[in-house]
Chain A
């Protein structure tokens, strides 16, 4: 979200999902929408098939959405900045940009323009592998079709230069005048049901709720007063910074409902780090790989047992109701925290609605939301007052930071490139039937039966060269580790590329991934690293 926050002044999806029907053209990059956000994928496909909305898909893999696209740009993993800037180069060269909008609503155009001069179509073809003709056609379509929306996901952010990728997305939307308008926007699709809410609630090292900076004295004073304690104004560490500091700066970690032992890059390192802690507390509903390492495990409850609000990818705050009563010696997650607070001498509210009242008191964008108002249909923030209808799209008329910032970008290659030894580009992600670390989906009968084990997507030609058939057991190795898994032969991946879903702890893709971080957002480079793949000889298998 760092890229969005610096350029627009707010880090969230700018527009709502149902606005796809108001768009004239959609650009989807780094999002395998029909697998990762399937219901939104359906809305996208519907907009294309029934409303004649044009679709440009940019993805190194032949994802299902490609079948619905007017133009598919198959760029190399990690060449997103080059690709997006190449499109902008053509738009500016042909004077297809929204000149009035740039003049009235943005700043920094001259410096930005200079950086875009570098990205000639010929150069971008070289960097991204996308032919010049396709770049020209896509740029022309996107700039001339009418209001355009850009959707992206982890394929944009999970890179060592993820913030540059996001800035390139914003730049494209600014020069085409597509932010602050219905049917437009820069729209990062959120991968978990309450990532947006976790961010909104100050689950970040630099901000309180509603993105009020911990470095802002007025904010610190406001929260200190409300909570009746002095507060720190030092920005804290991110998750990916805390892990390597375990046993050094960090001696205790309290984890609520997360499983970094499967989700984090370079797992060997995570395990080693967590072992160095004096105290590891995990509050979860399963004994996850991470919980197994904890000193104390506190059993909370699942979504189905709780009352509370969740904020979806389009900032819509929705109320979820308890469907079953908790069983066993477990407690509501907010109760556990209140029980602990009591041991530190403070009384925390013990009802979700009272906690929500505190959130409203402290967070202007949530101030107008009440349980009563969102009982049946959720409302998107900002919603400052109880008679405010909520905000479907942001930045109408004015940006949160005044003028939007066009930022110069430079292309840098992925942190790790292929060589003779590690000759394949490895990318990781999710599949339709499973979710994240698999702690939920692999305990679901039907989903588990649908896809039981992990696999690696491999192009048939690469397989042939290595004497591998569909279903063969293979080893995949990178400079960080190796796993064994089965080969799935498919032309969904390009020649020279492989893809591994990361849901499967026993063949954990994150044993392989690179923990190189984006310097600003601290997000790891999950989407590209160099790997080697070999068939496991039958004899070796039999020996086991």
Chain B
């Protein structure tokens, strides 16, 4: 089916929302409460559009496409409404892009940019609220929270860890952990899904914040998590050839095994790759002590040793432990080496352990 958005004919599939169809066609419609993983929420109204034949403004995140629909995302009424929404959001709390960890990775900032808002028109004086630094991996800054509710939906219904919820009423409403505990003292298991979906800088990772690395400076590479067998697809963010932080890979997230989620190990447990304990040279035991050696020396010791034992005791005097941690290609190579060049089937790994 087809619809027209801002004069462009756009293809759509039944069941899609206007927002999804527009984004698929590369047309910018902001959305603060909607996220593909948490679904429509109808809270922020940032995604409003005008539709021919329908009265008033419509939330495009909740509006299903119809064949022949004519949609406008850029009418004065739409833009004025969006501007007011952003103005009001910016008036509350303390949104300071200069020092924000999410600078250049912020959906509110992007929206303000698109609308040409250079500085907020309304200023509501309020005392800053201290950041919640109690958690090992996550920093909560309620001054930057726009109460979109993504994190609450993600925590309650996505990862089902059931820690975050809304508490208090009216202008006092806020996102809390359990019965308003500091995050580090709550039942939070630090999966980081809330950070993953937060559109602003209200929930950020502590490690890059402390290391002064902001998301726009990093390169993301899709890797498979080295921990359990779920095989989560991770965007490993690096800067200057070093680990920066990890986010779940969200490309085609609904077809990936982890559906765009991670656990505490995948989220925070990858910095070991830069550990000073990493081996940086081959070692050979000399006079009882392991000492640095060249590759040629080390490999020669191994080859000579294996050959000597193979000759003296036969091939079955050698055993190989392949690894549940290395790639298929490397497992294949080692068992080929053991079987074809040593001549033994003494090949196993720690699957039983």
Contacts and interface: CB of A to CB of B under 8 A. Distances in A.
Question: Do A and B form a real pair?
Answer: yes
Contact of B335 (A195, A201, A242, A320): A201
A22 interface: no
Given A194-B326, A236-B346, A318 B224 contact: yes
Contacts of A66: none
Contacts of B300: 343
A296 B283 contact: yes
Contacts of B268: 444, 446-447
Interface in A146-176: 157-158
A377 B236 contact: no
Central interface residue in A189, A310, A314, A441, by most chain B CB within 10 Å: A310
A313 B221 contact: no
B68 interface: no
Interface in A197-253: 197-206, 208-209, 214, 223, 227, 229-232, 234-240, 242, 249-253
B333 A43 contact: no
B207 A445 contact: yes
Interface in B215-253: 219, 221-233, 236, 238, 241-243, 251-252
B159 A376 contact: no
B337 A340 contact: yes
Interface string B322-353: 11111111111111111111111111111111
Contacts of A321: 221-223
Contacts of A522: 352
A356 B329 CA distance: 6
A435 B227 contact: yes
B229 A195 contact: yes
A346 interface: yes
A257 interface: yes
Contact of A297 (B219, B290, B347): B290
Given A46-B158, A229-B340, A194 B325 contact: yes
B137 interface: yes
Given A193-B325, A258-B323, A446-B136, A339 B299 contact: yes
Contacts of B134: none
Contact of A46 (B160, B190, B226, B338): B160
A316 B333 CA distance: 20
Given A251-B309, A308-B328, A313 B352 contact: no
B340 A227 contact: yes
B303 interface: yes
A313 B231 contact: yes
A208 B282 contact: no
Interface in B191-225: 191, 206-207, 219, 221-225
A200 B207 contact: no
A22 to B, nearest CB: 15
Given A201-B332, A258-B350, A296-B298, A40 B230 contact: yes
Given A445-B207, A450-B136, A521-B352, A193 B285 contact: no
Contact of A193 (B228, B318, B336, B350): B228
A181 to B, nearest CB: 21
B173 interface: no
A193 B227 contact: yes
B38 to A, nearest CB: 13
B179 interface: no
A383 interface: no
Interface magnitude class on chain B: 35 or more
Given A311-B328, A340-B299, A234 B345 contact: yes
A252 B346 CA distance: 11
B279 A194 contact: no
Central interface residue in A198, A263, A439, by most chain B CB within 10 Å: A198
A133 to B, nearest CB: 29
Nearest to B303: A343
Contact of B281 (A328, A338, A356): A328
A378 B351 contact: no
Contact of B229 (A191, A204, A208, A263): A191
Nearest to B261: A39
A196 B322 CA distance: 12
Contacts of A229: 340-341, 343
Contacts of B281: 299, 328-330
B257 to A, nearest CB: 6
B168 interface: no
Report whether over half of chain B's contact residues are helix, strand or loop; otherwise say mixed.
mixed
A190 B352 contact: no
Contact of B273 (A158, A304, A308): A304
A137 to B, nearest CB: 24
Contacts of B266: 39
A39 to B, nearest CB: 5
B348 A192 contact: no
Contacts of B225: 193
Contacts of A255: 320-321
A526 B352 CA distance: 10
Given A198-B351, A256-B321, A337-B330, A250 B283 contact: no
Given A253-B318, A296-B282, A232 B344 contact: yes
Contacts of B353: 239, 260, 263-264, 523-524, 526
Interface in B262-298: 262-266, 268-273, 275, 277-285, 290, 295, 298
A479 interface: no
A227 B336 contact: yes
Contact of A286 (B277, B290, B348): B277
Contact of A433 (B242, B261, B265): B265
Given A197-B327, A450-B136, 17 more contacts: A49-B160, A192-B228, A193-B325, A205-B346, A252-B309, A286-B279, A294-B290, A299-B281, A303-B224, A309-B327, A320-B223, A333-B326, A340-B302, A349-B333, A433-B265, A446-B137, A523-B352
30 contacts: A17-B230, A38-B263, A42-B191, A189-B228, A194-B328, A197-B327, A200-B328, A201-B332, A203-B323, A204-B349, A205-B348, A234-B316, A236-B345, A239-B319, A252-B317, A257-B326, A258-B323, A260-B350, A299-B281, A304-B236, A308-B327, A310-B231, A329-B281, A333-B327, A340-B299, A341-B341, A356-B329, A377-B256, A432-B265, A440-B226
Q: Which 8 A-B pairs have the closest CB atoms?
A: A312-B231, A308-B327, A328-B280, A190-B229, A236-B345, A38-B263, A313-B229, A203-B322
Interface of A: 1, 17-18, 36-40, 42-43, 45-46, 49-50, 157-158, 189-206, 208-209, 214, 223, 227, 229-232, 234-240, 242, 249-258, 260, 263-264, 278-279, 281, 284-287, 291-292, 294-300, 302-306, 308-314, 316-325, 327-331, 333-334, 336-341, 343-346, 348-349, 352, 355-356, 358-359, 376-378, 432-435, 439-441, 443-447, 449-450, 521-524, 526
